[in-house]
C-alpha cells in the first residue's frame, strides 16, 4: 500500500490552476493560484465501469420480436410474465409515439420464432397481441 500511495503522489499528482487568488484570500484578491488535484481520487483504484444497462438494443435483430396491440396500462412485468413461457429474456413496453407496441428479446433465434407462432393473436388484459418479426428501422437520410 505504501508503494501505491507514493506512486500516486509522484506519478499521478498534477498541479492545476484554480481561480482562488493568491495566498488563499478568496476570489477577490486576483490572480490564479496553484491547487493540487490528485488523479488517484478519481479512479486509480477504480472498480470498473459496470456491466451497462440492459435494453432491447443489446440483442441481435433475429433474437427480437415486435409486439403490437398492447392495451393501455399493461406493464413490462405483465408482458414479461406472458412471454416468459416461450423463453423471453427481456421485454419492453414503449410509451409516447410507440404506445401500444413493444419488444421481446430471446436467447436464440429459434425461441423468437417460436414466440411468433405461439403468441401471435394471444390475449392480455382484454387486448389481442400482434407478434411479428423484428425489422430494423431504416435511418432517414
* pLDDT(116) > 80: yes
* pLDDT(27) > 70: no
How sure is the predictor about 99, in pLDDT bands with cuts at 50, 70 and 90? Answer: confident
All 3 cell numbers of residue 141?
437520410
pLDDT of residue 59: 78
The Cβ of residue 93 has, within 10 Å, a number of other Cβ atoms equal to 20
Condensed to tens digits (0 to 9), the pLDDT of residues 34-43 reads 666 555 555 5
Beta strands per DSSP E along 19-139: 33-36, 64-68, 88-93, 101-106, 123-124, 127-128, 130-133
* pLDDT(13) > 50: no
pLDDT of residue 17: 44
* pLDDT(83) > 70: yes
Element (H, E) at 51: none
* pLDDT(93) > 80: yes
* pLDDT(12) > 60: no
Residue % of the chain over a pLDDT of 90: 23
What is the distance between the alpha carbons of residues 54 and 80, in angstroms, rounded to a whole number?
15
Amino acid at each position: 500500500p505504501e508503494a501505491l500511495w507514493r506512486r500516486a503522489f509522484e506519478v499521478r499528482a498534477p498541479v492545476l490552476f484554480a481561480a482562488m487568488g493568491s495566498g488563499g484570500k478568496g476570489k477577490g484578491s486576483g490572480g490564479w493560484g496553484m491547487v493540487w488535484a490528485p488523479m488517484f481520487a478519481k479512479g486509480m483504484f477504480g472498480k470498473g465501469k459496470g456491466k451497462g444497462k440492459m435494453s432491447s438494443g443489446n440483442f441481435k435483430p433475429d433474437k427480437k420480436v415486435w409486439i403490437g396491440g398492447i392495451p393501455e396500462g399493461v406493464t413490462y412485468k405483465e408482458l414479461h410474465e406472458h412471454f416468459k413461457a416461450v423463453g423471453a429474456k427481456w421485454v419492453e413496453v414503449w410509451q409516447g409515439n410507440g404506445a401500444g407496441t413493444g419488444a421481446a428479446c430471446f436467447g436464440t433465434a429459434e425461441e423468437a420464432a417460436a414466440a411468433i407462432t405461439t403468441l401471435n393473436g394471444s390475449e392480455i388484459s382484454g387486448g389481442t397481441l400482434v407478434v411479428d418479426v423484428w425489422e430494423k428501422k431504416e435511418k432517414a437520410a
